[in-house]
Structure 1
């Protein structure tokens, strides 16, 4: 009886296992053949949904939960919308992006009207196709090596504007909802006032409340509490805006923007990212389950005609805007090929339109099919483009590259050591991203004009959020030996191309750091002790040449002892710099003598 009772209350894990298993199998397969993860999720949902193996027969139940993934996605987008970044890209985002979206909406909205649908339905259908797939375009730009090039940056700017545009477009869907004529002017004004009040309340909370709260939570050093607080922030902001009759997505986006300059931005992004990824993948799975194949087969002529019409009109709009903004023919064609598909935000827009009655379930299934087909066609378009218009090799011989290019450095630990290290780099114009896990230090640094982000450098997700994968130089300046070693090992394993410098406590720690993969360890007291000795000899009346020779001899002997200890391991063939003013010497070229001070500074 006990066994039967236990079995009756056991959780049925089979659907969960199948849901996760289908994604784990489909996504890598689709990415391998060049179709991207989004299409992998959609295909997996279709296979296990009501029109496949019928593992799930009510995808709407999953869709309601999975919409939280879209909410978190918009929060992450908001975190990336710092005012400084928006300002530097303002011409491309709000010029090029606005022009492309506006022209394409005007062109594509007539497709539905021509097919006999109402203007409201046609506008929503066309607008959904205007929103390009961020996942597909970003992936292809990265694979083609164009992400950091000017032509790639212009496409990124357009995608940023489209990501921003989803918020007002969702508001437009709510405005176009049937039944608007039954609402009196006073009721509409009251609703607007409540919505504005909710926005104002969220702005005030973000400005005066969130940073102090996160400072207190960070001081407690309980990671699970910070994660819970991050989720509370996103869901709370979405719920607050929902109470005001506005979009939950708008609430999450505004919360992200308000925290984009916060010292806790990287911590928030790292905490939310796993939930965002899982729930967004679940959202696409649910969309794939919702694809009604009976509707698709019954209306294949309209779907095929719509795909052709939408693609051609959007291609014309994208190409025309690109040329109007002085892109050459080759760049305009490439942008057109990459951006003529519909995107994942179309599913969000169509789901909102279905919820308020602008489109019916059959129309939603048809529009979803149109978007999916256009996404499937994109890799084919790119393949044809690359065959017909191969990349032109540019002869760069004899061209001098700029000598003053400034790379990006990531500095971990902003204590006494890190503060001094940062100043010469900043003086020479280098960009430094600084993280520290001491909330009080971050607050004090902010009073002196330093921007320090909160985060633990020993966490891989924090390093990614802080841009370690883009940094050409990583400086580990923490004053905790164990933490420094852990960070060095993590950085060297995950970001092997970055130049890695680290602060060492003493000789033993320096050896440990080199074996962990650091390129240049600096013992924190060595140079200061030599400077101290210089001052002592100078005040004893020693000539400057004699002082310099004595200090150089100490450095030389120290380098030799360090090299000898290191070559006792497996690093004899590696060229590293150990000189503190003495110059770079390959380890395998050094003559070493026994070390009489194994634990020396």
Structure 2
């Protein structure tokens, strides 16, 4: 058995590695690669791996770990903020999609209304395991778009218990002895969530505090996995969603000081098990069912995707999303989900659908999941708003301002706001159209234009200004340009933001009043605070700062004179620098 498990592991990991590398090279997602790899090694194709159901049972831990990590990203306050989207957007999505798909299945598959509803309810759900990693990899999970997608997915996970209850109520099979009534399942859900919340506050936090004091990193990993698995086991014991239990446990630890450590510890297990889950889904894909009725499977998958896309896009627009974002949301959630396999089994056990139908619709769900990366890639140009142009943007003009601030990003905003606080009239210039529109929403007037052009500076009133502050991002300024600005506007004091040492060297010798290296001062402030926190004497902190500034200025001067970044490398600041400085101070003469 051990030898067989090792062989299966080698085959699965080997095929997964090859397909993921290939699909990434082709610009496709890892999820689709895992599905295809699973189908290739599964019993329907090469038959290289057996005991698929057992592997899928282990792999479903990947979904549980994924929901735990998602919970860690959501503090209770943020979750409360999303309540309207969760229970408004989510409820509408599940309800309307289930009703529409019931009609589609009843019409296309000639099922009875009861059987059509039993199949439509699972199809209304989307794939949390597929969508969340896509949002995370694109960096969109914490954006308004990502939060709305997550809100719908969270409601879908919450709706698992009610959907199981509905299918049980529709059941044609005699109730098994000792079966839990649906109303009791709902009470269990409320009690279980309350219990997990209490455990998070009174058990988990003290436990992680104790482990943190011991300084045993390995114990964090054990404790994190114990937390996830026990929360899932409690929910499974009650007949509820294991993923929901892990999610609640994550939420309870979201605003704890151990959140980032837990994320780092759990994420590798989540990645491996989630990949294994999609491999198992691919292995379970009934290729014979597709081959027997290819037109029905492909047509039904297309009908599923089209129906959900149209309905979710419409709901998104009702909730004041732009049509492009609403369409993106519809396409992203258009597939069937992993919980569909669970609900199909429930419907089969309730004698609502035949085993062949459960297998057929499982293939439809898998096929719909496989299309999502393609749909998102192929529709990107339709969903992406066209680049904004400067048409209609007001160019700067001389209006008697005392200061010109060129660049209204994160740096320029601080400079401009502090000048304005002293009732100094400021003209703001930027060429980032999105930034200009955002600033306008806050009541700030920013003119469109390239502040590196002499004619535009003159048009903006630089000839009468007392100050010109170049706060542009990147490495745009040099001595030649700044000399030209000084010659053209000799009465204006020139300040410049420097990106790094190279920027300062490029501006060396320019007729400017002052330069500020972008992160230099903030880094020194953090170093001072860090030393103070570690108990370093305040006098030694001040001496360390002075010596660092002296050596940095000396190196910068030498680098500018010699045009070599390695000049005075021996003067770089090390642990011996302060000792040498103290020794020099104590040496007579």
Shorter-chain-normalised TM-score: which range?
A: 0.5 to 0.7
Listed one character per residue, the Cα deviations across residues 441-495 of structure 1 (whole Å, up to 9, x for unaligned) are xxxxxxxxxxxxxxxxxxxxxxxxxxxxxxx9xxxxxxxxxxxxxxxxxxxxxxx
Deviation at 1:269, TM superposition (A): 2.4
Distance 1:398 1:363, change over 3 A: farther
Contact 1:100 1:318 in 2 (8 A): yes
- Residue equivalent to 1:19: 12
CA distance in 2, matches of 1:304, 1:265: 43
SS at match of 2:44: coil
Deviation at 1:357, TM superposition (A): 6.5
- Residue equivalent to 2:446: none
SS at match of 2:159: helix
Listed one character per residue, the Cα deviations across residues 37-72 of structure 1 (whole Å, up to 9, x for unaligned) are 111111111111101211113211111111222222
CA distance in 2, matches of 1:47, 1:185: 41
- Residue equivalent to 2:54: 61
- Residue equivalent to 1:30: 23
Deviation at 1:202, TM superposition (A): 3.0
Contact 1:120 1:176 in 2 (8 A): no
Distance 1:166 1:357, change over 3 A: farther
Deviation at 1:293, TM superposition (A): 0.9
The equivalent position to 2:297 in structure 1, one of 287, 299, 303, is 303
The equivalent position to 1:172 in structure 2, one of 163, 182, 185, is 163
CA distance in 2, matches of 1:385, 1:593: 52
Q: Which moved more, 1:326-335 or 1:283-292?
A: 326-335
CA distance in 2, matches of 1:197, 1:52: 46
Deviation at 1:138, TM superposition (A): 5.9
Listed one character per residue, the Cα deviations across residues 262-306 of structure 1 (whole Å, up to 9, x for unaligned) are 332222222221112211111111111111111111122321231
Listed one character per residue, the Cα deviations across residues 49-107 of structure 1 (whole Å, up to 9, x for unaligned) are 10121111321111111122222222222223322212333444443343333322221
- Residue equivalent to 1:559: 549
Aligned pairs for 1:107-256 (under 5 A) are 107-114=100-107, 115-119=109-113, 121-133=115-127, 153-173=144-164, 175-177=166-168, 178=171, 182=175, 188=181, 196-256=190-250
1:529 matched to 2:522? The reply is no
When Rg is computed on C-alpha atoms for both structures, the one with the higher figure is: 2
- Residue equivalent to 2:439: none
Q: CA RMSD in A?
A: 4.5
Q: Which moved more, 1:226-235 or 1:173-182?
A: 173-182
- Residue equivalent to 1:70: 63
- Residue equivalent to 1:281: 275
**Unpaired segments of 5 or more residues in structure 2?**
396-406, 415-472, 474-498, 501-521, 583-589
CA distance in 1, matches of 2:382, 2:541: 65
The equivalent position to 1:312 in structure 2, one of 284, 306, 311, is 306
Contact 2:125 2:339 in 1 (8 A): yes
Q: Which moved more, 1:120-129 or 1:159-168?
A: 120-129
| Matched length | 451
Distance 1:348 1:531, change over 3 A: same
Contact 1:132 1:159 in 2 (8 A): no
Listed one character per residue, the Cα deviations across residues 190-217 of structure 1 (whole Å, up to 9, x for unaligned) are 6666565544433332231221122112
CA distance in 2, matches of 1:338, 1:389: 12
- Residue equivalent to 1:266: 260
Aligned pairs for 1:284-433 (under 5 A) are 284-347=278-341, 349-350=343-344, 360-382=354-376, 384-386=378-380, 391-396=385-390, 401=408
Question: Normalising to structure 1: TM-score of the pair?
Answer: 0.63
Question: Normalising to structure 2: TM-score of the pair?
Answer: 0.64
Contact 1:303 1:366 in 2 (8 A): yes
Deviation at 1:330, TM superposition (A): 3.9
Listed one character per residue, the Cα deviations across residues 315-370 of structure 1 (whole Å, up to 9, x for unaligned) are 22123223323344444444444443334454555466567766554333322322
Contact 2:126 2:153 in 1 (8 A): yes
Distance 1:555 1:128, change over 3 A: closer
Contact 1:311 1:340 in 2 (8 A): yes
- Residue equivalent to 1:513: none
Deviation at 1:21, TM superposition (A): 1.0
Distance 1:249 1:392, change over 3 A: closer
CA distance in 1, matches of 2:191, 2:572: 75
Contact 2:35 2:370 in 1 (8 A): no
Distance 1:131 1:30, change over 3 A: farther
Listed one character per residue, the Cα deviations across residues 554-578 of structure 1 (whole Å, up to 9, x for unaligned) are 9877633355579999xx9799xxx
CA distance in 1, matches of 2:151, 2:123: 16
SS at match of 2:387: coil
CA distance in 1, matches of 2:572, 2:130: 59
CA distance in 2, matches of 1:382, 1:144: 12
Listed one character per residue, the Cα deviations across residues 544-593 of structure 1 (whole Å, up to 9, x for unaligned) are xxxxxxxxxx9877633355579999xx9799xxxxxxxxxxx9799x89
SS at match of 1:29: helix
Deviation at 1:117, TM superposition (A): 2.8
Contact 2:86 2:151 in 1 (8 A): yes
SS at match of 1:262: coil
Contact 2:145 2:325 in 1 (8 A): no
Contact 1:38 1:284 in 2 (8 A): yes
CA distance in 2, matches of 1:85, 1:276: 23
SS at match of 2:379: helix
